[in-house]
């Protein structure tokens, strides 16, 4: 049986659980043209899911896996949502961007941005931390004989593409290694934790499965790909916008 705590729907999220079972569960969420299938834990504990598609009626349906690997529909709950600010859901943790006040990356982000008030400065500070390690440099001699120096990338992308698992925020922060979903998930968690609403986006870029982010400032979205590394002390947030000609196609967001 599906249970939904919708006491925080005005903030843009609900808490969902099912009766404990040994079987595999799926949660389907439908709103207008959005149709997303989530894994739902089988231990009866609440998980947080965003109301990321704006106001209106959301339909939550619970499915249980049977012996033939097919899924049986159990029950459905409808919720009509009227959020004063639909972007508030991108300020909270959820199943995909899962963190707590004790998460090391969150603690670090709050210290890193302590005393800062301008959203663009905060976003750039976190981006620069994700992209570059200010304590390490690489130097070389160019074709004119001049020495050149650049900062070393902080996070090493270990593989291309997206694995099926959720973003590994703690592991990526601890090891400085991850795929696109991990680095994007880490950056989203850090930004949300310091009050910057940010979307975690899944789709395609360069014809490959990919994940990136959209930072929301003054109700305007700035899509950024943390896997693209740009270094310029004078850069602005708009300098980091993804290039549409590279074929970024959004499938879903959290």
- Tell me: do 110 and 69 sit in the same domain: no
DSSP state of 242: P
| 153 burial type by CB count under 10 A (0-12 exposed, 13-18 middle, 19+ buried) | middle
Question: What pLDDT does 6 receive?
Answer: 95
Which of 26, 52, 85 is the last residue before a domain boundary?
85
Residue 23's domain comprises 2-85
| Per-residue pLDDT of the chain in tens (254 residues, 90 and over written 9) | 899 999 999 999 999 999 999 999 999 999 999 999 999 999 999 999 999 999 999 999 999 998 888 899 999 999 999 999 999 999 999 999 999 999 999 999 999 999 999 999 999 999 988 887 666 656 667 778 776 665 667 777 776 556 668 999 999 999 988 899 999 999 999 999 999 999 999 999 888 889 999 999 998 999 999 888 776 667 788 888 887 667 899 999 99
Whether 99 is covered by a domain: the verdict is: no
CATH number of the structural domain spanning residue 59: 2.60.40.10
Whether 92 is covered by a domain: the verdict is: no
Whether 97 is covered by a domain: the verdict is: no
- Tell me: do 166 and 47 sit in the same domain: no
- Tell me: do 135 and 201 sit in the same domain: yes
At residue 214, φ and ψ (nearest 5 deg) are -135, 120
Task: Using CA atoms of 23, 8, 173, 200 in order, give the dihedral in degrees to the nearest 10.
Answer: 90
First to last CA, the chain: 25
Compute the distance between CA of residue 246 and CA of residue 203 in angstroms, rounded to an integer: 13
**How many domains are there within the chain?**
2
Neighbours of 24 (CB within 10 A): 14
- Tell me: do 208 and 112 sit in the same domain: yes
- Tell me: do 239 and 113 sit in the same domain: yes
- Tell me: do 149 and 237 sit in the same domain: yes
Number of alpha helices (DSSP H) and beta strands (DSSP E) in the chain:
4, 15
For residue 199, list its beta bridge partners.
214
- Tell me: do 65 and 108 sit in the same domain: no
- Tell me: do 6 and 65 sit in the same domain: yes
Which of 52, 85, 118 is the last residue before a domain boundary?
85
- Tell me: do 190 and 159 sit in the same domain: yes
- Tell me: do 79 and 108 sit in the same domain: no
Compute the distance between CA of residue 135 and CA of residue 132 in angstroms, rounded to an integer: 9
Compute the distance between CA of residue 117 and CA of residue 29 in angstroms, rounded to an integer: 36
């Amino acid at each position: 049986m599906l249970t939904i705590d919708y006491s925080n729907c005005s903030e843009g999220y609900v808490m969902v659980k099912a009766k404990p079972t040994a079987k595999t569960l799926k949660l389907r969420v439908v709103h207008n043209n959005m149709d997303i299938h989530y894994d739902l834990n089988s231990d009866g504990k609440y998980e947080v899911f965003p109301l990321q598609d704006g106001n209106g009626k959301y339909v939550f349906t619970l499915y249980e896996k049977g012996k033939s690997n097919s899924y049986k529909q159990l029950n459905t709950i409808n919720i009509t949502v009227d959020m004063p600010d639909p972007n508030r859901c991108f300020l909270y943790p959820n199943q995909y961007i899962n963190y707590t006040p004790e998460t090391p990356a969150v603690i670090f982000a709050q210290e890193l941005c302590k005393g800062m008030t301008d959203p663009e400065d905060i976003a750039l500070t976190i981006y620069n931390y994700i992209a570059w390690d200010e304590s390490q440099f690489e130097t070389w001699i160019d074709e004119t004989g001049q020495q050149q120096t650049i900062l070393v990338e902080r996070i090493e992308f270990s593989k291309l593409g997206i694995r099926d698992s959720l973003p590994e925020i703690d592991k990526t922060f601890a090891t400085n290694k991850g795929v696109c979903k991990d680095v994007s998930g880490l950056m989203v968690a850090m930004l949300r934790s310091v009050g910057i609403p940010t979307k975690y986006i899944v789709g395609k870029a360069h014809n490959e499965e990919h994940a990136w982010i959209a930072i929301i400032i003054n109700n305007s979205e700035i899509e950024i790909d943390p896997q693209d590394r740009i270094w310029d002390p004078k850069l602005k947030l708009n300098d980091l916008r993804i290039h549409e000609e590279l074929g970024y196609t959004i499938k879903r967001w959290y």
